[in-house]
Amino acid sequence: MKKLILCLVIMLVGISGVLAQSKNGGISEDMLGRIRQGYQGTPEQKAVKNALASNSIATLAINAENLSMIDTHFSHRVTTKGITDQKSSGRCWLFTGLNVLRAKMITKYDLPDFEFSQNYNSFYDLLEKSNLFLQAIIDTRDLPMDDRKVDWLIKNPIGDGGQFTGVSNLIMKYGVVPKSVMPETYQSNNTGQMAMILKWKLREYALELRGLKANKAAERKEAMLTEVYRILVECLGVPPTEFEWTRYDKQGKAVSTKKYTPKSFYEEYIGEDLENNYVMIMNDPTREYGKVYEIEYDRHVYDGENWLYINLPIERVKELAIASIKDNTAMYFSCDVGKFMDRKKGTLDIANMDYASLFRTQFPMDKKQRIQTYSSGSSHAMTLIAVDLDEAGKPRKWMVENSWGAASGYKGNLIMTDEWFDNYMFRVVVEKKYVPTDVLKMLEQKPVMLPAWDPMFAPEQ
C-alpha cells in the first residue's frame, strides 16, 4: 500500500511539473533540473567535451573508416583545361557559366588555354542589378514599407551571388571579352566592401524614389545609375567597347589578330543563344515533379525574363547529365557544397564525417525534410564535367570543376559519390538537345510562380 501511495505521489509531482512548465511555455526550475541530467560528466562525455574545447566539430567527426581517397578514374570526362579562382567573391555562378563556354572554346579551337574576363561581366551584372532594384522600388512605391515584397527588396538590394539566368541574360546583352582585356582588380576579387557601399547608396535611393511621382522617378533613376556606374568604374575598371586580340594555337603560334567588340567576339567564338538553348532542371522533393516553376525577381536584368525550372526526380536529372557528359559537354551545376566536404581530399561523401557517433545521436531527416526546415539548399555553383558509370550504366561517382583555385580540392576539382549527389545536388542546366521530348513538353505549362524569398532559390555564391 505504501509503495502504491509513493508511486501516485511521484506521478502527481511529475504531472504538476509538466503542467507548471506548459502554463507559459518557459523553463521552470524543476524542468531545468531534469534537463541538466542530459550531462552527467561520464568519462565518455568528458572526453568529447575536452576534445570539442580545442578542435572543430568537422575535424572530430572525420570518419576514420573512410580516410582513403576515392578512386579518381572516370569512365566519361569532358575535355577541360585550367582551373579558375573566384577569390573572396560570390561569383561562382558567373565563373561556372563562363567555364562551360570556356571548355567549348578551348576544344573547338584547340587552344593551349583560355579564360574569359569574369570582371567584365561582373561590372554589367552589378549595374543591371542596381537598375533591377531601383525599378522594382518604383514599381512597388505604392505598397507600404512593411509589405513582404518591399521588405524583401530593401533587405536584398544587391549582391554578387546569382543564377544561370544572369549568365544568359548578361552575355546575350553585353557579350564577353578575354581575361587579358579586362583583368581582375582587388575589388573584383574581394567584393564585400564594394557591395557594402552599393547597398548603402541603393537603400538611400530607394527611400527617395518611393516619395517621387512616376515621371520624376524615372528621370531620377538615371542619375542614380550614373553615380553607380562611376563607383563601379573606380572599383572594377572601364569595360571595353572594342579591343584587339590574337588567337594562338596549342603550339603557341599566332593564328589571327583581329579587332572585336564584346558581342562580335562572343558571336565568332561561341555564337549560342544562351537564353533559348538551355533548360534549368531542379530536384526539389518538396514540390510536385513534372511541373515548371518561375521565381519572381530571379533574374539579373530587369528587362530579361525570370528563369524557369523543371522539377524532376533525381534519376531523370542523372539521365540528362550523363547524356551531356558522354557528348563532351560540361554543365552548370549547383548544390549544397558545404555538407560532408573533405576539402583536403576534395571529396563530397556522406561517409566523410560521422556526426552521429561524435554526439551519440541521430540525424534522420531526408532531403525533403532538410529543405522544409532550412537545413539544406543550393549554395554554390560549379561545372559538372565527369561521371563514372558501372557495367550496368549506373553512376558510381561524379566530378565538378570548381572555382576555388588549382590548389583547392582534388587538382581544383571536387569528386562526389552518387549517394551525395542524390542528397545534396539541386540544379543542373542542360542544353535542349540532351533533354527528352517529354521533358521539353513540360515547358508548355503555365509556370507556378514562387516568391523571391523562397529558401530554395537563394543566390549561389
Whether residue 76 lies in the annotated active site:
no
Q: Which residue among 311, 402, 413, 423 is the active-site one?
A: 402
- Condensed to tens digits (0 to 9), the pLDDT of residues 237-293 reads 999 999 999 999 988 899 999 999 999 999 999 999 999 999 999 999 999 999 999
What is residue 116's three-state secondary structure?
Answer: strand
The single residue of 92, 99, 169, 283 carrying the catalytic annotation is 92
Over residues 329-355, the mean pLDDT reads 97
- Residue 64 belongs to a domain: no
One of 121, 235, 335, 380 is an active-site residue; which one?
380
- Report if residue 8 sits inside a domain: no
Residue 43 covered by a domain: no
Count of C-beta atoms within a 10 Å radius of residue 348:
30
What's the rounded mean pLDDT across residues 189-208?
98
Q: What is the pLDDT of residue 100?
A: 97
Has residue 36 been placed in a domain? no
Q: Which residues of 378-409 are buried (b: 16+ CB within 10 A; e: fewer)?
A: bbbbbbbbbbbbeeeeebbbbbbbbbbeeebb
For residue 244, what are the β-bridge partners?
A: 259
Q: pLDDT category, 9, cuts 50, 70, 90?
A: very low
Evaluate whether residue 333 is within a structural domain. Answer: yes
Distance CA 273, CA 270 (A): 9
Cα separation of 381 and 162, whole Å? 9
Residue 92 is among the residues annotated as catalytic for this protein: yes
Phi-psi region of 411 (alpha: psi -120 to 50; beta: other; left: phi over 0): left
**Cβ neighbours of residue 437 under 8 Å, at least 6 residues apart?**
none
Residue 128 has pLDDT above 60, yes or no: yes
pLDDT of 11: 47
Which residues fall within 8 angstroms of residue 201, CB to CB, at 6 or more apart? 224, 227, 228, 231
The number of domains in the chain is 1
Q: What is the mean pLDDT of the chain?
A: 93
Q: Is residue 243 part of a domain?
A: yes
- Domain range spanning residue 352? 76-457
In a domain, 16, yes or no: no
pLDDT score recorded for residue 2: 45
Query: In terms of pTM, does the model score above 0.85?
Result: yes
Confirm whether 7 is a catalytic residue.
no
pLDDT band at 5 (very low <50, low <70, confident <90, very high): very low
Place of cell 576544344: 107
In a domain, 60, yes or no: no
According to the model, what pLDDT value does residue 8 have? 44
Question: What CATH number should be reported for the domain holding residue 152?
Answer: 3.90.70.10
| Three-state DSSP state, 457 | helix
* Interaxial angle between packed helices 118-139 and 92-109, expressed in degrees from 0 to 180 and rounded to the nearest 10: 140
Our CA angle for 340, 344, 349, nearest 5°, is 25
Residue 457 has pLDDT above 70, yes or no: yes
Total residue count of the chain as it appears in this document: 461
* Residue 393 falls in which region: left (phi positive, over 0), alpha (psi -120 to 50) or beta: left
Burial of residue 171 (number of CB atoms within 10 Å: 0-12, 13-18, 19+): buried
